[in-house]
């Protein structure tokens, strides 16, 4: 599987500014939002790489020097080849994919940068595509009220996808699931990208091109769906807190960096992660579920739980903070 998978590419759409995450994203793009100090786009690349893919294309926003530096640093690491291209304006996923088309020379994984899935799901997606030879394998999940106003509806016959439609709306008919933005795709989907029309929101969505691919290649290349039970989505500050909680509890990176300073009588309630140069004032209680970034300063007798403290942030003395993202200056 790994040898075959290495011939596939991965295209990651990471050009969104993340305006709904402001003020968190005022200093960096959504894809560069750190998860325990590691940008979410890097965590996604590492997860896909673990499923056997080595060749990556990242569609990024213009003038994102932080992302440019990150991708340059990752390129060549552990056998990865990483290229990037720019989407000048956020005009939808089909527009973003068209920006990468000249770099795509094989079948590929297509992913947004703001969803993280279990390793087993990435592996199943790749393995199913390579073994079953469908036109597409899409990630799907169970319907919840309101989903059809926000996501693509999917109709199924067993695990075969019979129809996909972007944001069909509540009450639009019987739908069996919704599509999450993670696909394994036949490269021929690129033939339909230029034909996608703008929506009323002046965006061009790649699900329309995937629908055309499905119809063109049916019945010889049956489109398939794979349900995912659990995933992590980044849209709000509360989402970011939940993602950190997952990584702290499931991956258990309980760490006190040797160059972090814990003053007298500090109490640590695991799991926490305290980075290099952070200073925790005397008598403070930190945790559970707290990440303290490099150079942050926590005033004495403070109590923090379920918090993210950005690098070089300052928390005043005797603060009592719960379920907040504390930003640096």
- Kindly state the average pLDDT of the residues 148-166: 89
Task: Flag the least confident range among 182-186, 210-214, 309-313.
Answer: 210-214
Q: Does residue 3 register a pLDDT over 60?
A: no
Q: Does residue 1 register a pLDDT over 60?
A: no
Task: Flag the least confident range among 146-150, 190-194, 210-214.
Answer: 210-214
- Kindly state the average pLDDT of the residues 172-193: 92
List, in sequence order, every beta strand (DSSP E) within 173-280: 177-185, 224-227, 232-233, 255-256, 261-262, 267-268, 272-274, 279-280
Higher per-residue confidence, 117 vs 229: 117
Q: What is the CATH number of domain 254-326?
A: 2.160.10.10
- Pair 279, 72: CB distance under 8 Å: no
Q: Tell me, what's the pLDDT at 292? A: 97
% the chain with pLDDT above 70: 95
Task: Flag the least confident range among 55-69, 208-222, 309-323.
Answer: 208-222
Within 10 angstroms of residue 190's Cβ, the number of other Cβ atoms is: 18
- Kindly state the average pLDDT of the residues 35-43: 96
The ranges of the chain annotated as CATH 3.90.550.10 are 2-235
Cα Rg of the chain, angstroms: 21
- Kindly state the average pLDDT of the residues 171-180: 90
> Which tens digit of pLDDT belongs to each residue from 248-305?
998 766 789 999 999 999 999 999 999 999 999 999 999 999 999 999 999 999 999 9
- Pair 11, 4: CB distance under 8 Å: no
Categorize the per-residue pLDDT at 202 as very low, low, confident or very high, splitting at 50, 70 and 90: low
Categorize the per-residue pLDDT at 201 as very low, low, confident or very high, splitting at 50, 70 and 90: low
The ranges of the chain annotated as CATH 2.160.10.10 are 254-326
- Kindly state the average pLDDT of the residues 188-201: 81
What is 2-235's CATH number, 3.40.50.970, 3.40.1110.10, 3.90.550.10, 3.40.50.10860? 3.90.550.10
Q: Is 274 exposed, middle or buried (0-12, 13-18, 19+ CB in 10 A)?
A: buried
Within 10 angstroms of residue 321's Cβ, the number of other Cβ atoms is: 17
Q: Tell me, what's the pLDDT at 123? A: 95
> Which tens digit of pLDDT belongs to each residue from 95-137?
999 999 999 999 999 999 999 999 999 999 999 999 999 999 9
81 Cβ neighbours under 8 A, 6+ residues apart: 54, 55, 56, 75
The stretches of 138-236 forming alpha helices (DSSP H) are: 190-193, 206-217
Within 10 angstroms of residue 172's Cβ, the number of other Cβ atoms is: 12
């Amino acid at each position: 599987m790994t040898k075959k998978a290495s011939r596939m590419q991965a295209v990651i759409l990471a050009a969104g500014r993340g305006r709904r995450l402001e003020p968190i994203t005022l200093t960096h793009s959504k894809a560069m939002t750190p998860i325990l100090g590691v940008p979410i786009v890097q965590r996604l690349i590492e997860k896909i790489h673990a499923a056997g893919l080595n060749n990556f294309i990242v569609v990024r926003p213009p003038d994102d020097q932080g992302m440019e530096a990150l991708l340059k640093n990752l390129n060549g690491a552990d056998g990865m080849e990483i290229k990037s291209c720019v989407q000048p304006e956020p005009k939808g996923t089909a527009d973003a994919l068209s920006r990468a088309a000249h770099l795509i020379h094989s079948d590929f994984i297509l992913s947004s940068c703001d969803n993280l899935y279990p390793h087993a799901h990435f592996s199943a997606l790749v393995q199913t595509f390579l073994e079953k030879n469908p036109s597409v394998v899409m990630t799907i999940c169970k319907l919840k009220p309101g989903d059809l106003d926000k996501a693509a509806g999917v109709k199924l016959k067993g695990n075969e996808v019979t129809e996909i439609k972007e944001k069909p709306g509540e009450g639009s008919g019987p739908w069996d699931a919704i599509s999450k933005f993670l696909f394994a795709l036949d490269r021929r989907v690129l033939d339909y990208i230029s034909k996608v029309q703008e929506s009323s929101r002046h965006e061009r969505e790649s699900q329309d091109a995937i629908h055309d691919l499905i119809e063109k290649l049916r019945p010889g290349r049956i489109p398939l769906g794979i349900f995912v039970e659990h995933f992590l989505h980044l849209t709000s500050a509360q989402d970011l807190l939940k993602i950190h909680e997952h990584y702290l509890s499931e991956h258990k990176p309980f760490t006190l960096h040797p160059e972090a300073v814990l003053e007298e009588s500090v109490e640590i309630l695991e799991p926490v992660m305290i980075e290099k140069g952070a200073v925790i004032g005397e008598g403070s209680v930190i945790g559970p579920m707290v990440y303290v970034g490099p150079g942050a300063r926590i005033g004495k007798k403070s109590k923090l739980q379920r918090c993210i403290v950005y690098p070089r942030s300052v928390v005043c003395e005797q603060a009592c903070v719960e379920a907040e993202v504390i930003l640096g200056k």
